[in-house]
Homo-oligomer: A and B are copies of this chain.
Amino acid sequence: MDPDIAIVRDHFLRLQSEIVKTFEELDGAAKFSSERIESVRGGFSQPRVLANGKILEKAAVQFTYTLGEQLPAAASESRPHLAGSGFAATSISTIVHPRNPHIPTTHLNLRMFVVDTKPKVWYFGGGFDLTPYLPYEEDFVEWHQFARQACSSDEQYKTLKRKCDEYFFIHHRNECRGIGGLFFDDYDDGGFEASFQFVQSVGKNFLTAYSSLIERRRNIKWSVEEEDWMLIRRGRYAEFNLAIDRGTKYGLQSGRRIESVLASLPPRAKWVYDHLAAPNSPQDRLKDYLKPGIDWVNFVDNSVYSDES
């Protein structure tokens, strides 16, 4: 099969519909907005956003298809020489901020670039990650089992999991944004057909994994303290997205539609000066899991974890 961005674009459009449908069913109350925004040379975007749901406080599932004259440097991590060429790009990104602190926040991104060099260069990028508020080990293990399942080998999973830990490390807080998942860029392993298969697998496993977490935790009652904790942790999420994230940075600098770029920001967040969770509370124990290098797929119990951390 020849590399064909139209096939990938249409797959992302279907995936967007599927994610929207699944989230609306899971929420049971709120619906996603629907827009189609035309851009130059036949490109278009479809931001779909849900607000104030019963389960989902805010969710954004955004599709873009771009035909550009000059590839931005930020679009390729390891091939800066491509910058400036004409290109086509398509992407889907998803972010969910649930209402219940027992359900983690999550993020998915999938994208394909085709660059008008001779011969054409194409590659995929993306990944998914999980940002929990409370330390449910079984959730984290299951999440990474789905991440492993999205990959074609242990080795691939380990590589992309490590990249994810690295990308989402917040140096100024000395912790990871969450418990990770998969992260890949400049990806063309095994040619177009194999790569596209992998990208489809990532999207599918993401949706299954996150739906499972929502179902397991949706009926847990939460306290004001737990909600407050979630809002403080969401502040750190905003710190990452605004001060560190490459995609946001590129979006802010390139003058893309700002409401789309910042749709990932939390609906509500708090910053409390020098806030510390009560020692040994679940909130306090969360920090033990926000570390790079935890072997979640082979994770057994706390003693194993303690040896490694």
Given the known inter-chain contacts A173-B258, A252-B172, please indicate yes or no for A273 contacting B263, CB distance below 8 A. Answer: yes
A171 to B251, CA, bound (A): 12
Is B273 within 8 A of A51, CB to CB?
Answer: yes
Cβ contacts under 8 Å, A261 to chain B: 172
Query: Residues of B contacting A266 with CB < 8 Å?
Result: 271
Name A259's closest neighbour in chain B (CB-CB). B274
| Cβ–Cβ < 8 Å partners of A235 in chain B | 265
Q: How far is the CB of A56 from chain B (nearest CB, A)?
A: 13
Chain A: interface residue total (CB-CB under 8 A): 34
| Shortest CB distance A109–B (Å) | 18
Task: Please tell me which stretch of A15-23, A38-46, A81-89, A237-245 contacts chain B, meaning at least 4 of its Cβ atoms lie within 8 angstroms of it.
Answer: A237-245
Please report the C-alpha to C-alpha distance between residue A58 and residue B235 in the assembled complex, in whole angstroms. 15
Per-residue B-contact encoding for A42-57, CB less than 8 Å = 1, 0 else = 0000010101000000
The answer on a CB contact under 8 Å between A265 and B258 is no
Closest to A273 in B: B49
Chain B residues near A273 (CB-CB < 8 A): 33, 47, 49, 51, 58, 60, 259, 263
Q: Verify B270–A268 contact, CB threshold 8 A.
A: yes
Contacts of A294 in B (CB 8 A): none
Please name the residue on chain B nearest to A275 by beta carbon: B259
A266-B271, A270-B267 known; A258+B58 contact, CB < 8 A: no
Quick check: is A269 within 8 A (CB to CB) of the other chain? yes
Asked if A262 is at the interface (CB within 8 A of a chain B CB), the reply is: yes
> Is A272 part of the binding interface, using a Cβ–Cβ cutoff of 8 Å?
yes
Tell me whether A252 and B262 are in contact (CB under 8 A). no
Complex CA gap A33/B272 in Å reads 13
Question: With a CB–CB cut-off of 8 A, which chain B residues contact A258?
Answer: 172-173
Q: How far is the CA of A39 from the CA of B10 in the complex (A)?
A: 58
Known: A47-B273, A238-B238. 14 other contacts (CB 8 A): A33-B273, A49-B274, A51-B272, A58-B273, A172-B252, A172-B258, A238-B269, A239-B242, A239-B262, A242-B242, A243-B249, A262-B271, A265-B271, A267-B270
Chain A residues at the B interface, C-beta cutoff of 8 Å: 33, 47, 49, 51, 58, 60, 171-173, 231, 235, 238-239, 242-243, 248-249, 252, 255, 258-259, 261-263, 265-274
